[in-house]
């Protein structure tokens, strides 16, 4: 802040210069007065010097006042910013959470107690460090000789060496074994993926449909039912309905069901209007809305399959509201059923329109690329089984009916129906080269809720179908694959050892150094596994370190979800629709524009709607774009673990443990960034 000019001082200075100049002229005009009679010690000069000193002091006071004003304004800005930060944090913490967040309060209390213990231990170790006890720790003796602090530290060393460290070392060894078993599974999946790539193994069809416009026999096309379940999908309903309605399939052989579970009247009216547009274009499309909305997505699909006209259809294709299949989707998937009477499901791969939107979507793309490229492709080729993804797949309706149809007992109805169909002897095919565009969650809140549902549901299902697996007539190898690989290793052991090893054991081992956690467990093996996971998405290789750290950070959410599903906690039955933003690729937008041209040119549709109806639709379109104001949150569990890991990194620094220190530091910073909701979409 620049100092304002002082006009009062300038005026005074000019007057003094004029007076001195007049005095000099008067003395120089008198010839009898020598020039040297003008002395510095004259009263006039003394007075001027005094005035000059007075004015300088006044200027100094002005400068001091300005400096004080600047300091006061800076302190005010700092205090206001601190108050705003505290209020924002308080509002985020006090904001109503979902049941998935509130049910984890028990885990948060455990983390909070753990944090208090870690801080006390860190303070104790700092006192011991400054006393030099890290070089020569005191041995147990009398209080008079050692002093109270020395006596307590000596007893603490004895307790941790004889009682605490052996227990922690035992838990560490168990987690290391589980970690190695899971790593072997990852290596086996990647070897299978390399084998498939090397020999170019992929499912082949017994027939192919001609391209659009060529001579074709309509009777060669089976009857296909296409279902689009949705719930308050304001952002994506148009593109999803359009992508299905422009399928290159005879219109008389396809029926589209828009299964709307929206509880908002505006959203219902918007979707009805969109369905009516395609009806007037000649597409066989129906709008269904349940009066009794129970069972979430499973209940919605079950209700749709109970319609009488479903018996006329042989296959059903399912697309979630944000999925945009290509026009040739049915022509690439349905032919695989020809001649394969024991085939129940054809699943396609997901592709993401917003994978490069932010760091969160890039990390999700790495994870899901490994899931599709390695897990589903390898399992589909070698054992003809994998978990149904709930969308972008085609089912044989007979197989659905044979395994009992859609059940509402879990929040992973897709995995449930896939397991039951597999136990009934049906086979699955995965098509890695057929991709269906969809959207990734761009905010951490939406991603966290999605992951909670994806990891609590499998534990619910495992608890319910464990005895059914044992009693089934499938081979012993398939039973072992379902129990030990599909459920235990990939759904239970992975989140358990990841959270326990890197969030509990690692920081504790810094305060209990008698329990050793080797550096290869902390750094080298996780690094190799991260490289394997990132191979299906090689363009994401620069994000390998953030991916490793973020996956460990997500372990707290996955661990909490696994526990809630395994022990039937309330949040395990919660279904929260993943928030979408309605993003489409440029190619899709061009296709939709071309397909919509005849509709725009035609006036029949607009004549069929009254002016008041058009006005109502325009109001709904405006309301579609306006929603509740979103705010970023603070995540307490992540913040608590951040402070635990950072405290452990300080303790590791005192012990001069290089790899452990850096890992704890970077992992703690990652937890801090995620806990402050600084990853993904940022809102005000």
Reply yes or no on whether 414 is catalytic.
yes
Which is catalytic among the residues 101, 320, 322, 414?
A: 414
Q: Helices then strands (H, E): number in the chain? A: 26, 7
Spell out a b/e string for 374-411, using b for 16 or more CB atoms within 10 Å of the CB, else e: bbbbbbbbebbbbbbbbbbbbbbbebbeebeebbbebb
Residues with Cβ within 8 Å of residue 32, at least 6 apart in sequence: none
Which is catalytic among the residues 261, 320, 416, 677?
A: 261
The torsion defined by the Cα of 311, 315, 320 and 325, in degrees rounded to 10, comes to: -140
* Dmax (CA) of the chain: 138
Q: Taking a C-beta distance cutoff of 8 angstroms, is the pair 643, 503 a contact?
A: no
Nearest to 409 by CA among 401, 420, 398: 420
At 4, phi and psi to the nearest 5? -70, 145
Three state DSSP letters for 179-227: HHHHHHHHHHHHHHHHHHHHHCCCCCCCCCCCCCCCCCCHHHCCCEEEE
Taking residue 560's Cβ as centre, other Cβ atoms within 10 Å add up to 25
Instruction: Please report how the helices 544-566 and 444-471 are oriented relative to each other, as an axis angle in degrees rounded to 10.
Output: 50
Q: What is the rounded radius of gyration, in angstroms, for the C-alpha atoms of the chain?
A: 36
Phi-psi sector, 26: left (phi>0), alpha (psi -120 to 50), beta = alpha
Measured at the alpha carbon of residue 544, what is the angle toward residues 176 and 645, in degrees to the nearest 5?
55
What is the strand order of the sheet 427-438 is part of? 285-289, 254-260, 224-230, 315-318, 393-396, 343-352, 427-438
Residues with Cβ within 8 Å of residue 622, at least 6 apart in sequence: none
Residues with Cβ within 8 Å of residue 553, at least 6 apart in sequence: 638, 667, 670, 671, 674
Reply yes or no on whether 261 is catalytic.
yes
C-alpha 196/C-alpha 185 separation (Å) is 17
Q: Taking a C-beta distance cutoff of 8 angstroms, is the pair 376, 192 a contact?
A: no
Per DSSP, helices labelled H in 409-543 are 413-423, 444-471, 476-480, 494-499, 506-511, 519, 525-534
The torsion defined by the Cα of 310, 404, 561 and 629, in degrees rounded to 10, comes to: 20
Phi-psi sector, 340: left (phi>0), alpha (psi -120 to 50), beta = beta
Q: Taking a C-beta distance cutoff of 8 angstroms, is the pair 124, 154 a contact?
A: no
- Between strands 393-396 and 343-352, the pairing is antiparallel
C-alpha 114/C-alpha 582 separation (Å) is 42
C-alpha 558/C-alpha 550 separation (Å) is 12
Burial of 35 (0-12, 13-18, 19+ CB in 10 A): exposed
Residues that are catalytic: 261, 414
């Amino acid at each position: 802040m620049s100092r304002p000019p002082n006009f009062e001082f300038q005026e005074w200075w000019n007057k003094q210069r004029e007076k001195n100049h007049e005095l000099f002229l008067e003395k120089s005009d008198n010839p009898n007065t020598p020039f040297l009679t003008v002395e510095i010690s004259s009263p006039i000069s003394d007075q001027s010097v005094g005035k000059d000193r007075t004015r300088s002091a006044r200027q100094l006071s002005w400068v001091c006042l300005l400096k004080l004003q600047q300091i006061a304004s800076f302190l005010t800005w700092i205090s206001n910013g601190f108050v705003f930060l505290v209020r924002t944090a308080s509002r985020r913490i006090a904001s109503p959470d979902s049941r998935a967040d509130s049910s984890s309060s028990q885990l948060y209390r455990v983390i909070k107690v753990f944090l208090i213990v870690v801080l006390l231990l860190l303070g104790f170790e700092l006192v011991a460090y400054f006393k030099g006890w890290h070089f020569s720790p005191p041995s147990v003796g009398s209080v008079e000789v050692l002093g109270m602090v020395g006596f307590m530290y000596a007893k603490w060393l004895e307790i941790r060496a004889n009682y605490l460290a052996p227990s922690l070392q035992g838990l560490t060894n168990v987690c290391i074994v589980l970690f190695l078993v899971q790593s072997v599974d990852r290596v086996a999946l990647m070897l299978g993926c390399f084998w498939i790539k090397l020999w170019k193994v992929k499912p082949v069809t017994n027939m192919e449909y001609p391209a659009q416009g060529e001579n074709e026999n309509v009777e060669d096309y089976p009857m296909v039912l296409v279902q689009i379940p949705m719930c308050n999908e304001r952002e994506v309903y148009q593109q999803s309905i359009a992508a299905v309605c422009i399928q290159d399939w005879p219109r008389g052989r396809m029926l589209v069901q828009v299964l709307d579970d929206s509880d908002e009247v505006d959203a219902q009216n918007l979707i009805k209007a969109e369905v009516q547009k395609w009806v007037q274009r000649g597409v066989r499309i129906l709008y269904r809305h349940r009066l009794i909305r129970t069972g979430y997505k499973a209940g919605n699909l079950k209700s749709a399959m109970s319609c009488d006209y479903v018996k006329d259809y042989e296959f059903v294709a399912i697309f979630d509201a944000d999925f945009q299949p290509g026009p040739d989707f049915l022509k690439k998937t349905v032919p695989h059923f020809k001649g394969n009477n024991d085939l129940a499901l054809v699943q396609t791969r997901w592709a993401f329109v917003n994978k490069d939107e932010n760091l969160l979507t890039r990390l999700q793309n790495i994870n899901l690329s490994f899931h599709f490229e390695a897990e589903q492709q390898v399992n589909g080729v070698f054992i003809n089984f994998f978990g149904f993804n709930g969308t972008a797949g085609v089912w044989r309706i007979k197989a659905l009916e044979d395994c009992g149809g859609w059940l509402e007992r879990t929040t992973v109805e897709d995995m449930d129906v896939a397991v039951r169909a597999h136990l009934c002897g049906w086979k699955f095919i995965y098509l890695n080269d057929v991709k269906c565009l969809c959207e990734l969650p761009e905010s951490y809140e939406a991603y966290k809720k999605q992951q909670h549902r994806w990891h609590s549901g499998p534990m619910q299902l495992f608890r319910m179908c464990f005895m059914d697996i044992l009693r089934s007539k499938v081979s012993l190898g398939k039973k072992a694959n379902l129990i030990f690989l599909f459920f235990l290793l990939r759904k239970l052991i992975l989140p358990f050892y990841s959270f326990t090893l890197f969030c509990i054991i690692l920081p504790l081992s810094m305060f209990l150094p008698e329990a050793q956690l080797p550096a290869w467990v902390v750094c080298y093996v996780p690094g190799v596994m991260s490289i394997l996971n990132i191979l299906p998405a090689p363009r994401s290789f620069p994000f390998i370190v953030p991916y490793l750290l973020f996956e460990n950070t997500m372990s707290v959410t996955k661990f909490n979800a696994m526990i809630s599903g395994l022990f039937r906690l309330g949040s395990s039955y919660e279904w929260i629709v993943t928030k979408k933003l309605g993003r489409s690729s440029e190619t899709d937008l061009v296709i939709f524009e071309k397909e919509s041209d005849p509709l725009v040119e035609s006036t029949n549709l607009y004549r069929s709607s009254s002016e008041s109806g058009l006005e109502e639709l325009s109001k709904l379109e405006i309301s579609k774009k306006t929603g509740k104001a979103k705010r970023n949150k603070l995540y307490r569990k992540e913040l608590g673990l951040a402070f635990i890991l950072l405290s452990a990194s300080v303790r590791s620094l005192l012990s001069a443990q290089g790899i452990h220190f850096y890992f704890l530091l970077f992992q703690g910073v990652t937890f801090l960034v995620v806990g402050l909701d600084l990853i993904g979409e940022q809102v005000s």
